[in-house]
């Protein structure tokens, strides 16, 4: 294969202040672009010189121009935004089974009063489009992929546009290996430890005063899964988080609560089940049973969609490799040797 054609290009940005924010403190944003795209990026004043394979330089140019436009619109720029722009540039030159990212200018967005939420990976892009299209959506995959955060963002958007009257957020109260024991306080105080991540997402996406008022009036309801039994959830955006810890019966009960003009989002990580040994995860079963049911959307995230610290994606990949090795049967000779060693 012939070596990639080398190129060099110089980009200039009009606003020195925005250019400084674009490059990042001590040039950290440029360093991330260099590392992820395999280019060199040297800045001087409001200019940056890109060097490396032509295709990679072109991707880096698109990343920098996209981020500069983001800053020009008055938005802040975080490392996640830089990572998202890099992934978009890479996706525009790739084919995905579930996304037509190539040829599209940008990933999908959710516009909220407090902030703009933009997908940062092809998986998140597909997830937002599924949330808009289907009344019931499953988002399954590892931690850090934004499943819950984007689900809450979509629910808040529907609530702000008056498309639903309320938001209902639920989790199964299953202890993740710890023994929490007796929890004092009223019902909200008892379940808060389980539902803290949902609260965090709400306050991140809505004004705190609006959240508190909506919690008091019941327009936002946060409750354990057990409280869903016997209800019909109409005119609501309903989210079930950590759904891998539901039993088969709990999942069936929850899904059949879907009422008129309701949207339901189910999120979870099938690889992190905290149910007692031998008990089937309701999420895994539902993903299998409802795979071909019309009106149900399913998006499966991978470690490539992790949007936390870049090290998290590598940690997830390492655990996935270890799990695959553990499931692989040992060669027959190796099993025989182990048996003889055990009997010796």
For the chain, how far is it from start to end, CA to CA, in angstroms? Answer: 55
Q: Tell how strand 109-111 and strand 47-53 pair up.
A: unpaired
pLDDT class of 186 with cuts at 50, 70, 90: low
Which burial class, exposed, middle or buried, applies to 159 when counting CB atoms under 10 A from its CB (0-12, 13-18, 19+)? buried
Lowest mean pLDDT among 44-53, 73-82, 142-151, 214-223: 73-82
Query: What is the distance between the alpha carbons of residues 201 and 212, in angstroms, rounded to a whole number?
Result: 13
pLDDT class of 193 with cuts at 50, 70, 90: low
| Residue 185 dihedral angles phi and psi, to the nearest 5° | 100, 180
Token pair recorded at residue 110: 């959710």
Mean of pLDDT values over 247-269? 92
Query: What is the distance between the alpha carbons of residues 195 and 232, in angstroms, rounded to a whole number?
Result: 22
H/E stretch holding 61: helix 54-72
Residue 142: which of 303, 265, 266 has the closest Cα? 303
pLDDT class of 290 with cuts at 50, 70, 90: very high
pTM: 0.68
Q: Is 332 helix (H, G, I), strand (E, B) or coil?
A: helix
Token pair recorded at residue 38: 């395999």
Q: Tell how strand 136-140 and strand 116-118 pair up.
A: unpaired
Lowest mean pLDDT among 1-5, 104-108, 139-143: 1-5
Lowest mean pLDDT among 94-108, 150-164, 307-321: 94-108
| Residue 259 dihedral angles phi and psi, to the nearest 5° | -110, -170
Mean of pLDDT values over 175-201? 59
Among 3-7, 47-51, 173-177, 315-319, the range with the most confident prediction by mean pLDDT is 47-51
Q: What is the mean pLDDT of the chain?
A: 81
Which burial class, exposed, middle or buried, applies to 342 when counting CB atoms under 10 A from its CB (0-12, 13-18, 19+)? exposed
Mean of pLDDT values over 54-64? 88
Mean of pLDDT values over 32-56? 89
pLDDT class of 177 with cuts at 50, 70, 90: very low
How many C-beta atoms lie closer than 10 Å to residue 48's C-beta? 23
Q: Would the pLDDT of 178 be above 60?
A: no
pLDDT class of 232 with cuts at 50, 70, 90: confident
Contact, 168 vs 237, CB < 8 A?
yes
Token pair recorded at residue 320: 């996935």
Per-residue b or e along 73-99, where b marks 16 or more CB atoms closer than 10 Å to that residue's CB? eeeebeeebbbbbbbbbbbbeeeeeeb
Q: Would the pLDDT of 97 be above 60?
A: no
**% of the chain surpassing 70 pLDDT:** 80
């Amino acid at each position: 294969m012939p070596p990639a054609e080398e190129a060099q290009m110089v980009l200039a940005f009009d606003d020195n202040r925005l250019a400084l924010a674009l490059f990042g403190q001590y040039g950290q944003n440029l360093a991330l672009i260099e590392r992820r795209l395999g280019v060199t990026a040297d800045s001087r004043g409001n200019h940056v010189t890109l060097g490396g394979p032509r295709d990679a330089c072109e991707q880096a140019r698109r990343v920098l121009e996209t981020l500069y436009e983001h800053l020009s619109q008055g938005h802040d720029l975080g490392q996640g935004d830089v990572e998202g722009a890099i992934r978009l540039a890479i996706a525009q030159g790739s084919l995905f089974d579930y996304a037509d990212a190539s040829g599209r200018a940008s990933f999908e967005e959710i516009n909220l009063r407090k902030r703009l939420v933009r997908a940062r990976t092809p998986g998140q892009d597909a997830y937002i489009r599924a949330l808009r299209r289907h009344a019931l959506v499953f988002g399954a995959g590892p931690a850090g992929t934004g499943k819950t955060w984007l689900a809450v963002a979509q629910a808040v958007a529907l609530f702000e546009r008056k498309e639903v009257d309320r938001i209902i957020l639920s989790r199964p109260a299953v202890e993740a290996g710890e023994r929490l024991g007796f929890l004092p306080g009223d019902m909200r105080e008892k379940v808060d430890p389980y539902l803290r991540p949902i609260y965090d997402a709400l306050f991140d996406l809505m004004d705190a005063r609006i959240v508190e008022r909506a919690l008091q009036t019941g327009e936002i309801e946060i409750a354990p899964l057990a409280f869903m039994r016997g209800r019909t959830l109409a005119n609501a955006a309903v989210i079930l988080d950590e759904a891998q810890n539901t039993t088969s019966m709990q999942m069936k009960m929850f899904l059949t609560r879907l009422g008129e003009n309701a949207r339901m989002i189910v999120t979870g990580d099938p690889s992190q089940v905290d149910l007692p040994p031998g008990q089937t995860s309701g999420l895994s079963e539902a993903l299998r049973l409802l795979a071909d049911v019309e009106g149900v959307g399913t998006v499966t995230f991978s470690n490539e969609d992790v949007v936390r610290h870049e090290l998290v994606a590598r940690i997830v990949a390492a655990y996935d490799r270890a799990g695959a090795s553990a499931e692989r049967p040992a060669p027959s000779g190796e099993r025989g040797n182990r048996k003889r060693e055990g009997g010796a």
